């Protein structure tokens, strides 16, 4: 029997932590270090370092935190600024500024301080690294077709998964326009090497946000400027800046923005195909644990 990747991630984490701890792909935003700026995140968020809200920031605004004993916001460092937890969810954090405000909507006394999230940070970082490496190892079966400043990411085969292996300069040059044409494929993994400083790049056409993952596997800096990002972003080693919003989840080293940005709950669900190598940390699974991860796949309506 083949297990879905999100289920395997959930099971793998359950071997090293309690069942109340979600796995990476349950998060709408997961950062190893700091979040500096302002966000509205529809789902669950993990901030491994400090959360510095430069204006009111809202979490679980779309009521997309998984069903179960989960916190809508987890902060491994210090909370500063004004934060709001919506739809009855809770927050945990290490410390907070005396002037910090954590508001609860739909719950009472939702925030708990003094919580050590070091182990969870290490686990999620390991998951990010392993996932990124496994996707990078996939063989490319799709290509980028360039016509002037127009780029079409095109797949013409019969598989359900399209895999692109490209460089940042192939795609994100000045005034470029990128379109995704998946054909028969239902999901796309876009492996991109190099750092990024977007200069008026637009993603056009009918992107399926939930079925697209950008894997910036070796980047240390990604500056999206005002580009609206379509699909989830996996950039475990990168400091990410700005972006006109994210239609998908963001998994990165840190995130900084200059104005309020939305992170929408179009969650990446990995393909269930034998062509996708499993991360090493999930190589040994216990078949009898299969049902324990099912709750992780559900989200609140």
236 and 105 belong to one structural domain: no
pLDDT bin (cut points 50, 70, 90) of residue 289 is very low
187 and 227 belong to one structural domain: yes
4 and 103 belong to one structural domain: yes
Over its C-alpha atoms, the chain yields an Rg (Å, rounded) of: 19
58 and 89 belong to one structural domain: yes
C-alpha span between 126 and 53 (Å, rounded) = 27
pLDDT in tens, 9-48: 433 333 333 334 689 999 999 999 999 999 999 999 999 9
268 and 290 belong to one structural domain: no
C-alpha span between 34 and 36 (Å, rounded) = 6
147-161, 177-191, 274-288: least confident range: 274-288
The answer to whether 174 and 147 are in contact (CB under 8 A) is no
Mean pLDDT (whole number) for 241-260 = 96
Q: Which two tokens stand for residue 44?
A: 């669950």
Q: Which two tokens stand for residue 294?
A: 């099912």
133 and 15 belong to one structural domain: yes
Q: Which domain holds residue 34?
A: 1-137+277-301
Q: Which two tokens stand for residue 246?
A: 């994210």
Look up residue 284 and give its DSSP letter.
S
User: What is the model's pTM?
Assistant: 0.87
Give percent above pLDDT 70 in the chain. Answer: 83
pLDDT bin (cut points 50, 70, 90) of residue 205 is confident
State residue 8's pLDDT score.
Answer: 41
175 and 288 belong to one structural domain: no
Domain tally for the chain? 2
């Amino acid at each position: 029997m083949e297990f879905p990747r999100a289920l395997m991630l959930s099971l793998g984490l359950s071997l090293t932590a309690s069942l109340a701890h979600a796995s990476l792909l349950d998060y709408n935003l997961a950062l190893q270090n700091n979040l500096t700026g302002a966000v509205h995140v529809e789902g669950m968020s993990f901030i491994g370092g400090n959360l510095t809200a430069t204006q009111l920031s809202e979490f679980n605004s779309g009521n997309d935190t998984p069903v179960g004993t989960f916190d809508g916001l987890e902060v491994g460092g210090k909370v500063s600024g004004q934060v709001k937890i919506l739809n009855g969810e809770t927050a945990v954090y290490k410390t907070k500024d005396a002037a910090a405000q954590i508001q609860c909507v739909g719950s009472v006394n939702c925030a708990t301080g003094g919580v050590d999230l070091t182990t969870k940070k290490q686990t999620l970082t390991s998951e990010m690294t392993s996932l990124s490496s496994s996707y990078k190892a996939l063989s490319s079966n799709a290509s980028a077709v360039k016509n002037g400043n127009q780029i079409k990411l095109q797949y013409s085969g019969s598989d359900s998964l399209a895999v692109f292996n490209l460089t940042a300069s192939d795609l994100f040059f000045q005034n470029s326009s990128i379109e995704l044409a998946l054909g028969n494929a239902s999901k796309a993994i876009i492996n991109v090497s190099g750092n990024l400083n977007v200069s008026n790049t637009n993603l056009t056409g009918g992107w399926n946000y939930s079925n697209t993952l950008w894997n910036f596997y070796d980047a240390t800096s990604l500056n999206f400027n005002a580009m609206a990002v379509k699909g989830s972003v996996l950039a475990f080693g990168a400091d990410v800046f700005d972006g006109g919003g994210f239609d998908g989840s963001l998994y990165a080293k840190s995130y900084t923005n200059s104005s309020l940005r939305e992170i929408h709950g179009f969650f990446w669900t990995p393909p269930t195909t034998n062509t996708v190598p499993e991360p090493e940390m999930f190589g040994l699974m216990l078949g009898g644990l299969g049902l324990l991860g099912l709750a992780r796949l559900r989200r609140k309506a």
